[in-house]
Structure 1
């Protein structure tokens, strides 16, 4: 789920001057009323390291940790066995590798070896002989090791096999993943964006999540354009794992961040397909070896004679032996999986007709000629012809599955996709999926997707989450009554399902407070913010970023109520926590400086206000994409201060830069656009250019009257500005 802060610009003070106050939405709790953050999982696996004697200050540990992180970036360390077991039990939709000391491994292995999320165990000890006897009896234990280097080597192989197995497969047209990933792909292929910016956004995104090794991130950042997209996809880096996870989980955020890469990869396969078409036989076979979960294997057996689709880019080989021995056979070592050798019968005419391009990539892939690889674009559809066991002396879970490629017309998969496509409308690009990109400040893109997810939700937990996300979306769209309704529905469910001090309740109260804040109902906003603070103080450690969000939001209310000393105190407490809890250029720090600047401006301390706004902008330029709406708030604050200082040309320049960003980042009738129009109108008023002032005031009024309650004081404020400027004309 995507977590992102929401920036709301308000007007405050007796003189009715625009004041930029960033409020923190609990979807990413920090900065502007901040949404609560949840670290996203970008890859298919994580590593747990359990050893009662772990010393993280030890140089050998640090070296080992760095070496391991080059293979698996997400590592959790534990000294307590029960704590580790509890953590492992909570992992879903991800595979876990575990390094464990000999004594603790022997103690816990019987309790955890059958858990499907546990992929492999590596016993790391001083006395290899003492632990081999019990370890050799456990299929998931890959070995007993005395050095970290061979663990890394084994882990690299297991990681690649894990990635290969964790792909998105749909059976018999009853899986929504096929439809939505197909529609996402169609939208992405139609968009022509700035690839340089897209790479930068992906790199920044991966760094924020801390789930990818920094060396790999830097390599992509430096060298992406030095290699083909196929080279990156077939290389042992995070691009393959992250993209397949996004498609398997229908993780819209990952898919959109990698949209440029999906487009490049599809286009490169298509180009090679055209070049190679004359040399390809009409009919041929390719092979794919992988593990399949017991659950998916049972689904496939029930679908025999029916259809299955691979929703990801599909890597296959002309070499049966490599596919069987390197990928299918190793999967049988895991008692929770079945080794599968897919034998795929390909008709090139069907592929061409169905727009399912494929290409031989041995000359352009990372491994060159080693695997004789044929790579298909996404959503290749096959009929399951036969499923037969392969005789093996070591396992009864090795099967050969014969598939035949089929066209993508006149079957249930395509019918359902066409139906959803019709429901989504005929528009192209991002808007086809309801403008889903919340992360860069375009929440309208998320609305339709969350409505679909809400309609399909099967649990109260999901309904609470999707209503919560819709509340966030509607708030950022300026549709406050809808936002309030969605948030309150989410809160009703959570109050029944969760204990009274659960942080998710605090997040709900926080965001309801944010909506009341934006509606100008400050006493209700303050009440909800204080409820959030009360819960978080009991549930969280004293320097948790969520507490910073709570203090930030309380400060924002006091700022609007004209209680500037209380506002400043709350903002400074928020900033104090953030400096401890966050890295130096985290965007939430920018939001705090932005809000402190607002208070100083309202207090008439313009030099301090300008300094705070400029510090906010400095951080945002480092931490955010160039047209993120938070930058607009900083430019607007700077413009406000310059106006109050009588430097009108500088004020106008800053306001216009703010408006330029908002026009890119926000829907056309978002109330924050009106704030910019009103601010520009005030500058022209001071410059005695009354006709331009009137024009901008009228634009502001038109938006606010559509977006806000009729009694909101922004509307009366701008009407007053219109009357005043008309008198001067």
Structure 2
């Protein structure tokens, strides 16, 4: 009992950012003031852990409420004691992720009236066995009907739609061996360590699984089904990569079975589900568009089998027997679940056209009519052709990490992935140089320039020994080393590296080429930094035309180049022209980057900066409010993108309405502190911006408090000589200078300058400025106007660090 109690206590009253990651679609939560008062309660907790490894227990009302409100990607099963029931249901009953409520109490009759008022209450239970059985039964229903989709159309592919297609393509090319099988099963054992039934299934899989049993195992609705479906639904790429062993087998099995499953007339299939109202509205607005289901799509030939207490929407799917590239098969005879013998399973990447969406009064549900299609497959394959070209040069092992780094903007996860490869691959593995190269990109994205350069140089040395001097990977190494010198302010050296890399690419290919376009763009950016704007714009325009010739119409590389042209015009003083290019950039990125991507916020900030300089404050605020409204419908209320938008609005209003600006900053800071995946650098930036506003209002104690907190956060999360720490040290020094504490100010300035000198050359603007501040301080003549926000030290000087096989969309 002691072991059970200690295990259960580790999941009690946790804050949202302390709750471990849930790998299933359902999040079970139990709220009871008397959580630990009896052995019966501890036994119930253990039973619930078997049902749902991510279950959380609460005796504190407010902390439980915070967790519920933070959940977006799971469906909540909520157990509540009678004493808390009415109070919390008043606040959460209409919350979309909440799908089922179970009241667990000693007096059923007392709480029965609540069932008429709150429709999500499944039942009132006084005995543990009946509670557990009811939860298990309802969970099985929800697991079967959970569905997520992406929308697209013939003219314009959404970012999530295309990225999902690319991710699945890469996974299907990955290696499949005993090591990948062991990796998958070890993860499953760890996650289900308290579930004896699933552990037995995992053991059976290890001992008896063969490739031809893949369909049978998937339809068993056991650990494979639950974990895979959640991973596909949320694009959890780490989990999907872990399951590559089984995904490859299941795709192959469906393709093979498809050859034997021949139909002579149109097949009608059904799938019941429960989707949010906003998703239903999205379907209504997109009649004639293409829908792609995230993951394998399970349907039934029987309409009656699709109805239960949770069904609100019924998909009716028509399949033309003449469509050759729609891959599906009848899996009824392979299904371990007795009541699902008429199941038809579609393969990954299956596409459907939305024909109609209407309410069926006879059935009492919304009916969505879909037609299976294959004409859109060609459009998807056109987009994937870039991936295929790059994977001819590099393995899926490396390309998978690229997806994390570039398209999905998941730098920390990419860093963990490539460092895992570095530890697990043999030292003479053919991908080791590419691993070092990509670790360098991770460090560069984090502004850890010396670490980036170290890894780039290791990769370059290895490639020089292994490859001919005109190999494209040599050019990639030269390009990325050049990026570090550019970031350090050594523009001449950077230009030499870029030109040497370009020379290799030109010798390899005389036609328009993606790699050549990248080098030309980087050369243009160097000329922008050197304020040779005419040469810069010539290079950048050349690069843009080349990108447009070799890439799809909507692509992040084209968008980035548009931003580079806009930046050159901004520095040249052509604000109207700069604004137009920045707007083109953001419009394109909104089509081809995930909605969560940080660049969407950063580049919105660039547009707002121009509006502010043009004194178009009202227009800027209107744009921010439009973006914020959209973000609040699609993101968690505490998402860093929402915080960034609030910070932009604060910056806009701080001159005319400092009190309003401070409210925006406080809202942003509150969101960041509650965010489940903390973005510490955005938090630090927010604190620094607040400090600047406080200092302008002559509230120096508050300014110093914020700056010291930002410095502490930077020291906790960044390497010791990171340039952001130097920025924070300088800002603290500015506060002490304004408070006339010259000795403390000088101490912080000197420490800041030491870090700047370690990162940059003696001619870099930050080094020169740091030396000038110290000289002025010594003369006791430091002007207030020298104060600068840390966020302004990273203006729009984006360049491209080429990963081993192509491009990266990061800021330098």
TM-score band w.r.t. shorter chain: 0.5 to 0.7
Which residue is 2:208 aligned to? 226
Q: Could you say what secondary structure the match of 2:172 adopts?
A: helix
3-state SS of paired residue (2:161): helix
The verdict on how the C-alpha distance between 1:342 and 1:66 changes in structure 2, with shifts beyond 3 A counting, is same
Match of 2:50 among 70, 84, 92: 70
1:80 and 2:87 equivalent?
no
Shift of residue 149 of structure 1? 2.2
The residue matched to 1:292 in structure 2 has which SS? Answer: coil
Alignment check: 8 A CA contact 1:179 1:417 kept: no
Q: Which consecutive residues of structure 2, in runs of 5 or more, have no partner in the other structure?
A: 1-16, 423-434, 449-678, 689-705, 730-802, 805-812
- For residues 110 and 316 of structure 1, the distance between their equivalents in structure 2, rounded to whole angstroms, comes to 36
Q: Is 1:269 aligned to 2:269, yes or no?
A: no
| Counterpart-to-counterpart distance in 2, 1:483 and 1:377 | 34
1:637 aligned partner: none
Within-5 A mapping of 1:202-351: 202-208=184-190, 213=195, 215-224=197-206, 226=208, 228-277=213-262, 280-323=263-306, 325-326=307-308, 330-331=309-310, 339-350=312-323
CA distance in 2, matches of 1:503, 1:101: 40
Equivalent residue of 2:370, what SS? Answer: strand
Report the 3-state secondary structure (helix = DSSP H, G, I; strand = E; otherwise coil) of the residue aligned with 2:35.
Answer: coil
Q: Structure 2 matches for 1:41-440, cutoff 5 A?
A: 41-55=22-36, 58-173=38-153, 174-194=157-177, 196-208=178-190, 213=195, 215-224=197-206, 226=208, 228-277=213-262, 280-323=263-306, 325-326=307-308, 330-331=309-310, 339-350=312-323, 353-354=324-325, 356-368=326-338, 370-391=340-361, 398-407=365-374, 409=375, 411=376, 414-416=378-380, 418-422=382-386, 425-427=389-391, 431-432=395-396, 434-436=398-400
Task: State how far apart, in whole Å, the 2-side matches of 1:430 and 1:221 are.
Answer: 35
Q: CA deviation at 1:260?
A: 1.2
Q: Quick one: distance in 1 between partners of 2:713 and 2:195? A: 30
- Residue 220 of structure 2 contacts residue 337 of structure 2 at CA under 8 Å; is this kept in 1? yes
CA contact (8 A) 1:178 1:379 kept: no
- Cα distance, 1:71 vs. partner? 2.2
Q: Secondary structure at the match of 2:165?
A: helix
> Using the alignment, how far apart are the partners of 2:188 and 2:264 within structure 1?
41
CA distance in 2, matches of 1:501, 1:78: 35
Matches within 5 A, 1:687-702: none
Aligned to 1:452: 407
1:221, distance to aligned residue in structure 2 (A) = 3.2
d(CA) in 1 for partners of 2:128, 2:259 = 46
Secondary structure, counterpart of 1:46 in structure 2: strand
Task: Determine the C-alpha separation between the residues in 1 that align with 2:440 and 2:47.
Answer: 52
8 Å Cα contact 2:170-2:399 kept in structure 1: no
Change over 3 Å in CA distance of 1:252–1:65 after alignment to 2? same
Question: Contact conserved, 2:152 with 2:289, CA < 8 A, in 1?
Answer: yes
Structure 1 unaligned residues grouped into runs of 5+: 1-35, 333-338, 437-445, 455-465, 517-523, 532-666, 669-729
User: How many Å separate the matches in 2 of 1:38 and 1:399?
Assistant: 36
Say which of 423, 439, 445 aligns to 1:486. Answer: 445
| CA shift for structure 1 position 487 | 1.9
Q: Distance between the aligned counterparts of 2:440 and 2:206, measured in 1?
A: 45
Q: What secondary structure is seen at the aligned counterpart in 1 of 2:287?
A: coil
CA distance in 2, matches of 1:158, 1:380: 28
Structure-1 separation of matches of 2:334 and 2:110: 47
Quote the residue 2:3 is aligned against.
none
Partner of 1:513: 719
Aligned to 2:792: none
Show CA shifts across 1:23-71 (max 9, x none).
xxxxxxxxxxxxx998432111211111111226x33223322322232
Q: 2-side partners of 1:484 and 1:223: how far apart?
A: 40
Going from structure 1 to structure 2, the CA distance change for 1:37 and 1:142 (only over 3 Å counts) comes to closer
Measured after TM superposition, the shift of residue 287 of structure 1 is 1.2
Residue matched to 2:558 = none
Aligned partner of 2:608 in structure 1 is none
CA distance in 2, matches of 1:504, 1:283: 63
Question: How far apart, CA to CA, are the structure 2 residues paired with 1:307 and 1:59?
Answer: 54
Q: Secondary structure at the match of 1:363?
A: helix
Verify the 8 A CA contact 1:322 1:371 in the aligned structure 2.
no
Does 1:495 find its partner at 2:684?
Answer: yes
Tell me the TM-score normalised to structure 1 length: 0.55
Counterpart Cα distance in 2 of 1:130 and 1:176: 51
* Secondary structure, counterpart of 1:136 in structure 2: helix
Match of 2:491 in 1: none
Q: How has the CA–CA distance of structure 1 residues 447 and 370 changed in structure 2, closer, same or farther, with 3 Å as cutoff?
A: closer
The answer on whether the counterparts of 1:248 and 1:312 sit within 8 Å (CA) in structure 2 is yes
What is the DSSP-based 3-state SS (H/G/I as helix, E as strand, rest coil) of the residue aligned with 1:384?
strand
SS in 1 for 2:336: coil
1:536-551 matched pairs, under 5 angstroms: none
- Of the structure 1 ranges 469-478 and 82-91, higher mean CA displacement relative to structure 2 is found in 469-478
How far the C-alpha of 1:166 sits from its partner, in A, is 3.2
Greater relative contact order (CA < 8 Å, ≥ 6 in sequence): 1
Q: CA deviation at 1:281?
A: 2.8
SS of residue matched to 2:47:
helix
Q: Using the TM superposition, give the Cα deviation of residue 248 of structure 1 relative to its aligned residue in structure 2, in angstroms.
A: 1.6
CA distance in 2, matches of 1:40, 1:117: 16
Which residue in 2 is equivalent to 1:648? none
Secondary structure class of the residue paired with 1:53: coil
2:391–2:399 Cα contact (<8 Å) kept: no
- Aligned-pair CA distance for 1:262: 1.0
Q: Please give the secondary structure, in 2, of the residue aligned with 1:248.
A: helix
**Structure 1 residues 181, 302: closer, same or farther in 2, change over 3 A?**
same
Deviation at 1:400, TM superposition (A): 1.6
